Amino acid sequence: MFWMTRRSLVKCLDQARIVAAIESAERATSGEIRVSVAPFFWGRVDRVAWKAFHRLGMDQAAERNGILIFLVPSRRRFMVLGDEGIHAKVGQDFWSDVAACLQASFRRGAFTEGLENGISLIGERLADHFPHAGEADRNELPDHVDFGG
């Protein structure tokens, strides 16, 4: 990810496409997927990412299968965090594949495309372990992009 402020990333992100990607992925899985874009901050990215994970209620999904893509454009960093239900079922290859998918597009400045591809990959892989429950499945968390930091 090249140097960018949150404001400039917000301008170049197509939020409608990202929400559509989340909705599409969640039609295949009971997993909950969110994207959060953080402002500049001092301190460790992992700590702030986990705070956002809890602030957004990612740990409140019934099956403990929430995944957060946390972007910090001013620090050129991102993290993909998953709740304990996911950790129990997927291996390190899952996390490495998602990170590589995101990073490949982010390096080119294709942030919306990268998020779409990453979200799609997450949905496909989660469907193996957390298939969509049909009519009984409800969207437990909002799908919009979070800019709360």
138 domain residue, yes or no: no
Closest CA to 65 of 33, 21, 23: 33
**For 10-41, what is each residue's pLDDT tens digit?**
778 899 999 999 999 999 998 899 999 998 88
Q: For residue 133, count other CB atoms closer than 10 A to its CB.
A: 12
Residue 148 is assigned to a structural domain of this protein: no
Angle at which helix 15-26 crosses helix 111-129, to 10 degrees, equals 10
pTM, two decimal places: 0.91
Residue 137 lies in a domain: no
- Which CATH number goes with the domain that contains 68? 3.10.310.50
For the stretch 78-105, pLDDT in tens is 999 999 888 778 888 899 999 999 999 9
Domain range for 56: 6-130
User: What's the number of CA atoms in the CB half-sphere (13 Å) around residue 107?
Assistant: 6
What does the pLDDT read at residue 146? 93
Residue 143 lies in a domain: no
**Which H or E run includes 79?**
strand 77-82
58 within some domain:
yes
Q: Nearest-CA neighbor of 66 among 131, 126, 120, 149?
A: 126
DSSP H helices, 56-130, are 84-87, 92-107, 111-129
Query: Is 102 a domain residue?
Result: yes
Which two tokens mark 60?
């409140």
* Burial environment of residue 3 by CB neighbours within 10 A (0 to 12, 13 to 18, 19 or more): exposed
Q: Does 109 fall in a domain?
A: yes
Q: 135 in a domain, yes or no?
A: no
Number of domains in the chain: 1
- pLDDT band of residue 121 (cuts 50, 70, 90) is very high
Collapse the DSSP code of 57 into the 3-class scheme (helix H, G, I; strand E, B; otherwise coil) and give the result.
coil
Structure tokens at 24: 């599409």
